[in-house]
Amino acid sequence: MTSRGHLKALEAESIFILREVVATCEKPVLLYSIGKDSAVLLHLAMKAFAPGKLPFPLMHVDTTWKFREMVSFRDETVKRLGLDLIVHVNEEGVKAGVNPIASGSAVHTDVMKTQGLKQALDKYGFDAAFGGARRDEEKSRAKERIFSLRSADHRWDPKAQRPEPWALFNTRKRKGESFRVFPLSNWTETDVWDYIALENIPVVPLYFAKPRPVVYRNGALIMRDDERLPLHPGETVHMKTVRFRTLGCYPLTGAVESTAATLDDIIAEMRASRASERQGRVIDHDGASSMELKKQEGYF
């Protein structure tokens, strides 16, 4: 169990980062992807700017393939907290018929997520975008700064990152350049769950085990969230008690068999687990350094 003191120190660090952006950037946005990290990030932002409302909108880049429960949770959250939400869909991608099943995970992610995100940032002219990424998620993320400078065409140059000593963030940038800012950089998966428990933060029910309709495919358990997931010959849908460790597009997100139905169960299961959180993500396995490549091209 992460101690309360440690969680409160992480909380204070994140609040400092959130405020630093609002104080120095012109038009920030919070990229809200509905998962547990976004839930924590949103919770911290509410604290950072209390008693006022959030001084920036939320934006969800919707690939149109999110779990239905994610979308309804998103809409409830926005209503409950009185937030300003932008939902952006890459309509060109939709028109071209891009989808995770026929186009494959790489093309789908690039068009609907990366390109969609860049379109939306350009359309609204945001100069700083908060993301919920953590350094413990993946080896190239472990290398990224808290304030990650992106060129006018949103590219990340991992070999020319700005030094970031102490908490002295260099927030100067040229016109057209922007920042991706990661207030949860120093949090681990354990910290996130411990904090959710400590602060009673609502999360999407998909994180908790329940009987759900799944098919076995390429070694992963894929939930058939709607009729769009075609069944291959010989495949059948089973009701299995499963949950998700990360959430994304449903055809690309593997479930884990589990009976963990409460926060305490989840935390206990995570501590005992020998597999990393991103293992269930099909998109991470497209190549040896696929995350870094995607980030260079403008992904989160």
Partner 1 sequence: MGAALKMAKLPAVAPAAAVAERSLLRFLTCGSVDDGKSTLIGRLLYETGSVFEDQMEALTRDSARFGTTGKDLDFALLVDGLSAEREQGITIDVAYRYFSTPRRSFIAADTPGHEQYTRNMATGASTADVAIVLVDARKGLLPQTRRHSYIVSMLGVRRVIVAINKMDLVGYRQEVFDAIVRDYTALVPELGFAEVHLIPLSARNGDCITGPSSAMPWYQGPALLNVLETIGTEARDDAVFRLPVQWVNRPNLDFRGFSGTVASGSLSTGEAVTVLPRGRQTTVTGILGPDGDQKTARAGEAVTLTFADEVDVSRGDVIVRAGHVANGQRVIAARLLAMTDTPITPGRGYLVKIGTSLASARLVSLDHAIDVHTYARQPAENLPMNAIGLATLRFETDVIATSYADCAVLGSLLLIDPFTNEAAALGIVEAVDGEKPAEQSSTSTALARIGAALMSAGLLSPRSDETAVLRDLTGRMGNAALTGLLIGVIAGAPGAGVIGLAADLVLRPLVQMGLAAVWRAIDARRRGRADITISLDGGGI
| Chain residues that interact with partner 1, rule: CB under 8 A | 2-3, 5-6, 8-9, 11-13, 15-16, 19-20, 22-23, 47-53, 135-136, 138-143, 158-159, 161-168, 170, 172-174, 185-186, 188, 273-276, 279, 288-289, 292-293
| H-type alpha helices, 1-48 | 4-24, 36-48
Under DSSP, is residue 294 helix (H, G, I), strand (E, B) or coil?
Answer: helix
CA distances from 279 to 113, 121, 213, 219 (A): 20, 29, 20, 11
CB of residue 17 to partner 1, shortest distance in Å:
10
Q: Is the dihedral of CA 218, 221, 224, 225 positive or negative?
A: negative
CB of residue 246 to partner 1, shortest distance in Å:
13
The residue among 60 and 145 lying less far from partner 1, judged by its C-beta, is 145
The residue among 126 and 182 lying less far from partner 1, judged by its C-beta, is 182
The residue among 68 and 143 lying less far from partner 1, judged by its C-beta, is 143
The residue among 65 and 195 lying less far from partner 1, judged by its C-beta, is 195
The residue among 59 and 291 lying less far from partner 1, judged by its C-beta, is 291
Q: Answer whether 177's CB lies under 8 Å from 149's CB.
A: yes
Sheet containing 147-150: which strands, arranged edge to edge? 85-88, 58-61, 28-31, 128-130, 178-181, 147-150
Hey, what amino acid is at 226?
Answer: D
Residue 177 gets which letter from DSSP? -
CB of residue 162 to partner 1, shortest distance in Å:
6
The residue among 104 and 158 lying less far from partner 1, judged by its C-beta, is 158
CA 269 to the chain's CA centroid? 21
Provide φ and ψ at 241, rounded to 5°. -80, 105
